Amino acid sequence: MVGTVDHLKVRSAAGVPGGGDDGRSGTAIIAKPKTKTKRPNLYRVLLLNDDYTPMEFVVLVLERFFNKSRDDATRIMLHVHQNGVGECGIFTYEVAETKVTQVMDFARKHQHPLQCVMEKK
């Protein structure tokens, strides 16, 4: 943690009834550490190609769970088909994990072997 020091004036007790002056200058230094926030780690959500999941189903997944337009979803689906893997998006850990679970559950519900994984960026 990186810290800086802020200087604050503090009134001495001199001049206050019953306060007494102990000979100090009336100034104190108070250290107030400033915490630097770190950006969260990001994770890529990837679809893996298989020989059984229909292309139209992959497009539907990309539209529904990743808010892709029809054109973008089609482009990503073709990339997955031709290269074996394609990126759906980049998210924080919790969001990526949720997306992977949603896609996998949806694929199983529709009896498709589509695989969705996440990897640290």
The values of phi and psi at residue 41, to 5°, are: -65, 145
> How many Å apart are CA 34 and CA 1, to the nearest integer?
8
pLDDT at 24: 61
**Domain that residue 74 falls in:** 54-120
Q: Would residue 81 count as lying in a domain?
A: yes
- The overall average pLDDT reported for the chain is 86
DSSP collapsed to 3 states, the chain: CCCEEEEEECCCCCCCCCCCCCCCCCEEEEEECCCCCCCCCEEEEEEECCCCCCHHHHHHHHHHHHCCCHHHHHHHHHHHHHHCEEEEEEEEHHHHHHHHHHHHHHHHHCCCCCEEEEEEC
Our measurement of the distance from residue 18's CA atom to the centroid of its chain's CA atoms, rounded to an integer in Å, reads: 56
43 close to 93: Cβ distance less than 8 angstroms: yes
pLDDT by residue (tens digit) across 45-55? 999 999 999 99
pTM as predicted: 0.71
Q: Would residue 36 count as lying in a domain?
A: no
CATH number at residue 101: 3.30.1390.10
pLDDT above 60 for 3: no
Q: Would residue 70 count as lying in a domain?
A: yes
